[in-house]
Chain A
Amino acid sequence: MFIQTEKLTHIYMPGTPFAAEALNDINFTLAKGQVVLLIGPSGSGKSTLVQHLNGLLKPTSGRVYFDGRPVGGSKVELLKLRRRIGLVFQMPEEQFFSETVYDEIAFAPRNLGLADRELDLRVDKALARVGLEPDRFRHRHPFHLSSGQKRLIALAAVLSLEPEVLILDEPTAGLDPVGRRRLYALLADLNKKEKITLLIATHHYDEAAALADQVLVLYHGKMVMDGTRSKIFSNREALEKLGLALPPVTEIMHDLADSGLPLNKDIYNFEEARTEINKLKGSGTNES
């Protein structure tokens, strides 16, 4: 397995009166090249979990494995790991600190000790990968870009390390529909064309659900559901009990099926929904 956790438990401030258990006995596996959607109410442990996967947090007990080796060890080991597993935080542009887009993106690869020429190539490649023309953006001030562009720069900064896994925590918060669509089209490409494994933690899973192979559900620090997208989103009641909702298109299909229409509910985008609903026509309807 590419990524695996084994009895992963994390307690914040253990041994103090403020001790708070954030993760309890988490076991899951993730195969290379997959798209995994991680959902759960606020405070369920999603951010804590993702920070274990690239060694930002250490388990209180249990283990995390990446590509057959336990996560952790020396500083050098961790740096190697973080090159392979990129983490895009919530609202990453709030952490921008450079005067130019170039410096913002070059920051991490520069710390790898790359030569200037190699650095230039990395920055240009990362910009191109997020669909921003290097010549137009390299010298811009990151604070003067639109929210959508800032988010793409933040993603480029992580891609400049050429990771094999991308972990994204609420990647589209605050983006408009076009920005959201653009970001997800990009993520879909990174997964399909470059085989980058994706783990996406989000509350707004309209687009993420359309990409996902597997869905993990956290609740109060426990992994309460883990399975294929079809399996998890077939159980609306269980999700609603946890304060979670179906993806919007899937919700419409459930609403229709629940009112007696003979329709497949396992659907995640408008075009599939349209095709499915059009099947009603062939079944002896009273349409005009």
Chain B
Amino acid sequence: MVMGKPSEILIKARDLNYHYTGDGENIFPALKGINLDVHQGEYLAIIGSNGSGKTTLLKLFNALLDPSEGEVLVEGISTVDHDKIPMIRQICGMIFQNPDNQLVATTVEEDIAFGLENLTIPSAEMRQRVVEVASRLGLEQLLLHPPHLLSGGEKQRVAIAGILAMHPRCILMDEPTAMLDPAGRKEVLQTVSDLNKNEGIAIVHITHFPEEAAMADRVVVINDGCLVKDGPPELILTDLKLLHGLGLVGTPAVELADLLRTDGFKIPPGTLYNRELVKSLCSFRPKN
């Protein structure tokens, strides 16, 4: 949150309801009365079990779905204003779970340029933007490679580059590391964290991994279509009563610390990471 203006609202969801129509006449409510502001430059994590409505919320932010009731405003533009959809998607780009589902071109550079082509950016500027984002994300050497031969982490970075080329204010990410190996995960998370810290690009990150949610400034918990909790990671992600009740888990350090506290070990609340747990337990070192 260095360069953004934290007080300014980037995305506003107001009394947001969304229902899918299912088998026959059945209506399935996916989101119920969501009120949520995403601020400029903020890193927001969204957690919740499968089917809680996280992805639906993200799709509403990106104008992939229209609200059933209520509204979503992206920099003041309502997502039902369909003429403005290209502008909304330029402000908020979206990264999906499986990189293979979002890479479309035969070379990395064409893929990065794909969104720009649709914005009818002149080709000289397009070229310049592609080269610029590729160098920012360390993809220069890969520009002429076919995307399907890249590693998972590289593919997700190409997808991020395609969004960055459109000069977005925000990146929406739906479980961007679910298909990646540990190195690819690290690579993507580092890239995202750098973009947020150094360039003030807001991040909305859906994840099932508590250690990824811990990277955020703020964590929002969704359950059964409702927003049930909103707060800093050290409060939300250590509240095991809340998390377990919703079928979620804490980081490994949080889970283990909880068991050890009941055994009489003194571990401060707010312990999220291994290094903090190790520090507490080291005070149990046998005396010489």
Contacts and interface: CB of A to CB of B under 8 A. Distances in A.
Interface of A: 40-43, 90-91, 141, 144, 146-148, 170, 173-179, 203, 206, 243-245, 248-249, 251-252, 255-256, 259-262, 270-271, 273-274, 277-278, 280-281, 283-288
Interface of B: 22-23, 48-51, 97-98, 151-153, 175, 178-185, 208, 247-249, 252-253, 255-256, 259-260, 263-266, 274-275, 277-278, 281-287
A177 to B, nearest CB: 4
A39 B264 CA distance: 37
Contact of B275 (A174, A255, A262, A278): A255
A277 B260 contact: yes
A274 B151 contact: no
B284 A280 contact: yes
A243 B253 CA distance: 22
A181 to B, nearest CB: 9
A287 B253 contact: no
Majority secondary structure, A binding face: loop
B248 A177 contact: yes
A84 B50 CA distance: 32
Contacts of A91: 98
Nearest to B248: A177
25 contacts: A40-B181, A41-B184, A42-B152, A42-B153, A91-B98, A146-B51, A174-B50, A174-B97, A174-B178, A177-B49, A177-B247, A177-B249, A243-B181, A251-B274, A255-B278, A259-B278, A260-B282, A260-B285, A261-B281, A270-B255, A277-B281, A278-B260, A281-B264, A285-B285, A286-B284
Contact of A203 (B50, B97, B182, B252): B182
A261 B284 contact: yes
Contacts of B286: 262, 280, 283-285
A160 B264 CA distance: 49
Contacts of A41: 151, 181-184
B178 A274 contact: no
Contacts of A203: 180-182, 185
Contacts of B281: 256, 261, 277, 280
Contact of A252 (B23, B97, B153, B253): B253
A104 to B, nearest CB: 16
B256 to A, nearest CB: 6
Majority secondary structure, B binding face: loop
A216 to B, nearest CB: 15
A285 B151 CA distance: 48
A90 B265 CA distance: 41
Nearest to B101: A94
B22 A178 contact: no
A243 B154 CA distance: 14
A42 B177 CA distance: 12
Which 8 A-B pairs give the minimum distances between C-beta atoms?
A243-B183, A178-B247, A248-B252, A42-B152, A146-B51, A147-B50, A176-B49, A177-B249
A253 to B, nearest CB: 10
A244 B255 contact: no
Given A42-B152, A277-B281, A285-B287, A148 B50 contact: yes
Given A146-B51, A175-B50, A287 B277 contact: no
Nearest to B258: A270
A249 B256 contact: yes
Contacts of B181: 40-42, 203, 243-244
Contacts of A173: 97, 178-179
Contacts of A283: 286
Nearest to A260: B285
A118 to B, nearest CB: 29
Nearest to A43: B151
Nearest to A144: B22
A42 B184 CA distance: 8
Given A42-B180, A259-B282, 20 more contacts: A43-B152, A146-B50, A146-B51, A170-B179, A173-B179, A176-B49, A177-B249, A178-B248, A243-B182, A251-B274, A252-B256, A252-B274, A255-B277, A255-B278, A260-B282, A262-B286, A280-B284, A280-B286, A286-B287, A287-B284
A173 to B, nearest CB: 5
Contact of A273 (B23, B185, B256, B275): B256
Contact of A245 (B22, B182, B248, B249): B182
A90 B97 CA distance: 13
B282 to A, nearest CB: 6
